[in-house]
Chains A and B, each alone.
Chain A
Amino acid sequence: MSIINYASREIQFKIVYYGPALCGKTTNLSYIHQRINPLNRGDLVSLATATERTLFFDFLPLNAVVIKGFVTKFQLYTVPGQVIYNATRQLVLRSVDGIVFVADSQWEKMEENVESWKNLTDNLALQNMAIDDVPCVLEYNKRDLPNVAPVNYIEYVLNNRKKRLQSFEVISSTGQNVFAALNAVSQILLHKFSKQSEAPQGAPLPVAIPVEPGTAEAQRLPA
């Protein structure tokens, strides 16, 4: 959980892209980095091995004005998908506000998807969190490949619960539904945040002041 800085009018949220190895988490971030307005993003930082496998994490900071009067900073992280890097995944999940779970749609990857999902729920439990407490959406990635499982089957495997998560058919290499999934998790976490915020007890209620037109912050607004 991040802290709201009332003086600089900033709120920070952390969104983590989680999923099995080679499912396309880094490709999601690369696409977002390429296509988002450069005024609204920072550098994409990738800590990868020589063979471009994520070693530690990828990190992409984004800015938006989505809450009246506040600059909202979204920090996008990926985790290393390889099984041996679980300690790193636990670190990256720390203080997470939203999760995009990226599943590989290929038949032969279903077991890895399920293992990664279980690993996610286990790692959240270590932080005393449950998947139902964290805004989360599912991406069924690589829908352009020939050997993909039907969406109904993946839904049955990964999303078979009373309150189903929002899911997207994604081709991260071309960007299909990459922004749709990011926007969906952002909206879910913002609405959870609005429910979670409480009026102060005994202190005067801070008033959110809209950003003045013509200021540097207003210029960072998306067109």
Chain B
Amino acid sequence: MNAIPVLTIEDVATLDGVLGDFLKKTEASLTVVIDRGGNVISQCGDMDVMDVTVIAALAAGSFAATRELARRIGEVEFNALYHQGNGNHMFMNSVDDETIMITVFGSRTTVGLVRFYSTATAQNVANVLKLLRRTSHGLKFDAKDITASPVFADHS
């Protein structure tokens, strides 16, 4: 049975450093690294802007949906997607086969700048995650650490 990958405090600090540097250079509001199943791996920036969990689920869906479009023109997938709003915009780019990076930005910056810096940032994030998957720390839980009572209650 495979061990479940664990992001240690050091891993999170490294990712925060990479993403923080990216936000500083681009002046974007928020960046989130997610897996293609929609789970949040790391996030940096103004979290009050939106519900990151929902953004991750929808972005993973959006990225996968455009894969079929890409196939129609002979591509495996689109490496990057850009959603343009009136004031806020979203840029998504592929980090590796398992991971996507989402950046939310406003009028203080441009899509060109975000796109330019996202390439190197994605590479740095990919390197951290590659190491993480290879070393595969485990985390020990005993059955007694898990609650025996029902997880969710119906508030009738």
**Interface residue ranges, A against B (CB under 8 Å):** 1-8, 12, 14, 32, 35-37, 40, 42-43, 45, 47, 56-57, 59, 61-62, 64-69, 73-75, 77, 87-88, 91-92, 94-96, 175, 178-179, 182-183, 186-187, 190-191, 193-201, 203, 205-206, 208, 222-223
Q: Which residues of A contact B45 (CB under 8 A)?
A: none
Contact stretch, chosen from B30-38, B82-90, B105-113, B117-125? B30-38
Given the complex, which residues of A lie within 8 Å of B12, measured CB to CB? 5-8
Q: Which residues of the partner chain B approach A175 to less than 8 Å between Cβ atoms? A: 154
Cβ–Cβ contact B151 & A4, under 8 A: no
**Nearest CB in chain B to that of A66: its residue:** B147
Which residues 1-53 of B have a CB within 8 angstroms of A? Answer: 1-9, 11-13, 35-42, 51, 53
B8 with A7: CB separation less than 8 A: yes
Q: Is B76 an interface residue (CB 8 A)?
A: no
Task: Decide yes or no: A193 and B64 within 8 Å by CB, A66-B147, A95-B37 being known contacts.
Answer: no
A7 touching B9 in the complex, CB below 8 Å, given contacts A37-B155, A198-B138: yes
| Assembled-state Cα–Cα distance A67/B148 (Å) | 10
* Contact residue among A92, A193, A203 (Cβ-Cβ distance under 8 Å from B141): A193
Query: Contact residues of B with A, CB < 8 Å?
Result: 1-9, 11-13, 35-42, 51, 53-54, 57-58, 60-61, 64-65, 68, 137-143, 145-147, 150-156
How distant is the Cα of A196 from the Cα of B3 in the complex, in angstroms?
Answer: 6
Interface of A (DSSP majority class): mixed
Is the CB–CB distance between B143 and A194 below 8 Å? yes
Closest residue on chain A to residue B57 by CB atoms: A59
Using CB atoms, name the residue of chain B closest to A185: B151
Question: B39, A3: Cβ atoms under 8 Å?
Answer: yes
Contact A183 B65 (CB under 8 A): no
CA of A4 to CA of B129 in the docked complex: distance in angstroms?
Answer: 13
Whole-angstrom CA separation of A201 from B3 in the bound complex = 11
**B54 and chain A: residue at smallest CB distance:** A45
For residue B57, give the distance in angstroms from its CB to the closest CB of chain A.
5
Interface contact B6-A3, CB-CB below 8 Å: yes
- What are 6 A-B pairs with beta-carbon distances under 8 A? A5-B7, A61-B53, A66-B146, A74-B151, A197-B3, A197-B141
A53, B11: Cα distance in complex, Å: 42
* A179 & B154 in contact (Cβ 8 Å cutoff): yes
With CB as the reference atom, state the residue of chain A lying closest to B151: A186
A75 touches B57 (CB 8 A): yes
The 4 tightest CB contacts between A and B, nearest first, are: A95-B37, A198-B138, A7-B12, A68-B145
Q: Which of B40, B58, B145 has a CB less than 8 Å from the CB of A67? A: B145
Does the CB pair A32–B3 fall under 8 Å? Answer: no
Distance of B149 from chain A, by nearest CB (Å): 9
**Chain A residues whose CB sits within 8 angstroms of the CB of B39 once the complex forms:** 2-3, 12, 14, 75, 95
Closest-by-CB residue of B relative to A4 is: B6
Contact of B4 with A197 in the complex, beta carbons under 8 Å: yes
